[in-house]
Amino acid sequence: MGNDKKLTEEEKERRMGFALQEAAKAWCGEKTKDITMDAGLAEEFAKILVVQMYAPKLGCATTREILEELKTRIEMDGKLDYRTIDSD
């Protein structure tokens, strides 16, 4: 689920539970309500959602928000080489 080294197991489960609920909504739409839900597909989609929902959105951030994010990252692990997205 991304860079979640500092998250408790309880928080990881909470995030995944919420993402599963969101993923399940895909089978509640007008076009999809008659399709049998695929639990495995919902779970895989939820994993993607967790990363997207909790990733910092710095592309649209103000300078204050960027500085606050950097301050938090330094306070959490003291590393300046942290990447939001792993490089290939």
**For the whole prediction, is pTM greater than 0.85?**
no
> Domains of the chain: which residue ranges?
8-55, 57-88
What is the signed CA dihedral for 26, 22, 28, 35, rounded to 10 degrees?
40
DSSP string, 31-73: TTTTSPP-HHHHHHHHHHHHHHHHS--GGG--HHHHHHHHHHH
- What integer pLDDT is reported at residue 2 of this predicted model? 46
Please state, for a pLDDT cut of 70, what percent of the chain lies above it: 80
CA atoms within 13 A on the CB side of 20: 11
Encode pLDDT of 12-33 as tens digits.
999 999 999 999 999 999 999 9
- What integer pLDDT is reported at residue 86 of this predicted model? 60
* pLDDT score of 40 more than 90: yes
Contacts of 73 (CB under 8 A, 6+ apart): 79, 82
